[in-house]
Structure 1
Amino acid sequence: MDGREVNMPNAGSKRGGWITFTFITGAVAGLTLATGGWLSNLIVYLIQEFNVKSINAAQISNIMNGCINLFPVIGAIVADSFIGSFFVASISACISLMGIVLLELTATLDSLRPQSCDDGSSLCTPPSKVQYAILYTALALACIGCGGTRFTLATMGANQFDKPNDQGRFFNWYFFTLYTSSAVSSTAIVYIEDNLSWRLGFGLSAIANFIGLAFLLLGNRFYLHVKPHGSPFTGLVRVIVATIRKRKVQLSSKTEDYYYGQDGIAEIPPPSKKRFRFLDRAALKTEGDVQSDGSVAKPWRICTMKQVEDLRNLMRILPLWSTGVFLSTPIGILSSLTILQALTMDRSFGPNFKIPSGSIMVLVLIWTSISLTIIDRFLCPMWQKLTGSSPTPLQRIGVGHVLNTLSMLTSALVESKRLKIAHAHHLREQPSSVVPMSVLWLVPQLALVGIGEAFHLPGQVELYYQEFPTSLKTTSTAMISMIIGIAYYLSTALIDLVRRVTGWLPDNLNDGRVDNVYWALVVVGVLNFGYYLMCACSYRYQNVGKGSEDAALINDADG
Structure 2
Amino acid sequence: MANEMSFEYGELEDWRGEKADPRKHGGVRASSIVCVVEVLENMVFLSNATNFIAYFLKSMHYPAAESANMVTNFMGTSFLLTILGGFIGDSFFTRFKTFIIFCTLELLGLILLTVQAQDSRLQPAINSKPSKSQEAILYAGLYAMAAGVGGVKAALPAHGADQLDHSKQRLISAFFNWYFFSLCFGGLIASTVMIWIEENLGWNWSFKISVVALSVALCIFSMGFPIYRYKRPGGSPLTRIYKVLASAIRNRKASLSEAENRIEIFGEKRNHDKFRSLNKALIGDSNVTATEVEETKTFLGLLPIFASTIMMNCCLAQLMTFSVEQGNIMDRSLNNFRIPTQSLSVFPLMVMLAFIPLYEYSVRLFRIKNNLPGRLNMFQPLRRIGLGLALASGSMAVAAIVEAKRRVEANNNVTLSVFWLGWQYVLLGLSDILTLGGMLEFFYSEAPDKMRSMSTALSWCSTSMGYFISSVLVTLSNSVSGHFGKVWIGGNDLNHSRLDLFYTLLCILNLLNLLNYIFWARRY
TM-score w.r.t. structure 1 length?
A: 0.85
Q: Which residue does the alignment assign to 1:83? A: 93
Q: Which residue does the alignment assign to 1:43? A: 53
Q: Residue 422 in 1 paired to residue 407 in 2?
A: no
2 CA distance for matches of 1:367 and 1:270?
A: 38
Q: Residue 517 in 1 paired to residue 520 in 2?
A: no
Listed as ranges, the matches of 1:110-509 within 5 Å are 110-115=120-125, 117=126, 124-162=127-165, 163-252=168-257, 256-258=261-263, 265-268=266-269, 274-284=273-283, 286=284, 289=285, 296=286, 299=287, 303-333=288-318, 335-350=320-335, 352-378=336-362, 381-382=365-366, 388=372, 389-390=375-376, 391-423=379-411, 425=412, 435-502=414-481, 503-507=487-491, 508-509=493-494
82-91 or 522-531, larger mean C-alpha shift: 522-531
Q: Deviations over 1:324-346 (max 9, x none)?
A: 11222233235532222212321
Q: Deviations over 1:361-416 (max 9, x none)?
A: 34333333332232222356448857944221111112212222221222222223
Letter in 2 for 1:421: E
Aligned residue pair count? 502
Letter in 2 for 1:283: L
Name the SS of the counterpart of 2:219 in structure 1. helix
Alignment counterpart, residue 33 of structure 1, candidates 7, 31, 43? 43
Q: Give the superposition deviation at 1:169.
A: 0.8
Residues 335, 62 of structure 1: CA spacing in aligned structure 2 closer, same or farther, 3 A cutoff? closer
Residues 37, 338 of structure 1: CA spacing in aligned structure 2 closer, same or farther, 3 A cutoff? closer
Q: Deviations over 1:214-244 (max 9, x none)?
A: 1100111111111112112211111111011
Asked whether the 8 Å contact 2:478–2:489 carries over to 1, the reply is yes
Residues 255, 357 of structure 1: CA spacing in aligned structure 2 closer, same or farther, 3 A cutoff? closer
Name the SS of the counterpart of 1:52 in structure 2. coil
1 CA distance for matches of 2:109 and 2:367?
A: 45
Residues 113, 415 of structure 1: CA spacing in aligned structure 2 closer, same or farther, 3 A cutoff? closer
2 CA distance for matches of 1:129 and 1:24?
A: 39
Q: Give the superposition deviation at 1:83.
A: 0.5
Residues 60, 79 of structure 1: CA spacing in aligned structure 2 closer, same or farther, 3 A cutoff? same
Q: Give the superposition deviation at 1:253.
A: 5.3
Kindly name which structure, 1 or 2, has the bigger radius of gyration based on alpha carbons: 1
Letter in 1 for 2:131: S
Q: Which residue does the alignment assign to 2:119? A: 109
1 CA distance for matches of 2:147 and 2:93?
A: 17
Structure 1: stretches of 5+ with no match in the other structure: 118-123, 290-295, 428-434, 540-559
Residues 53, 383 of structure 1: CA spacing in aligned structure 2 closer, same or farther, 3 A cutoff? farther
Residues 384, 463 of structure 1: CA spacing in aligned structure 2 closer, same or farther, 3 A cutoff? farther
Asked whether the 8 Å contact 1:416–1:515 carries over to 2, the reply is yes
2 CA distance for matches of 1:522 and 1:38?
A: 29
Asked whether the 8 Å contact 1:366–1:450 carries over to 2, the reply is no
Q: Deviations over 1:412-443 (max 9, x none)?
A: 222232233234x1x5xxxxxxx421111111
Letter in 2 for 1:316: G
Q: Which is richer in helix?
A: 2
Asked whether the 8 Å contact 1:255–1:266 carries over to 2, the reply is no
Paired-residue identity, %: 30
Over the aligned positions, Cα root-mean-square deviation in angstroms equals: 2.3
2 CA distance for matches of 1:184 and 1:334?
A: 17
TM-score w.r.t. structure 2 length?
A: 0.90
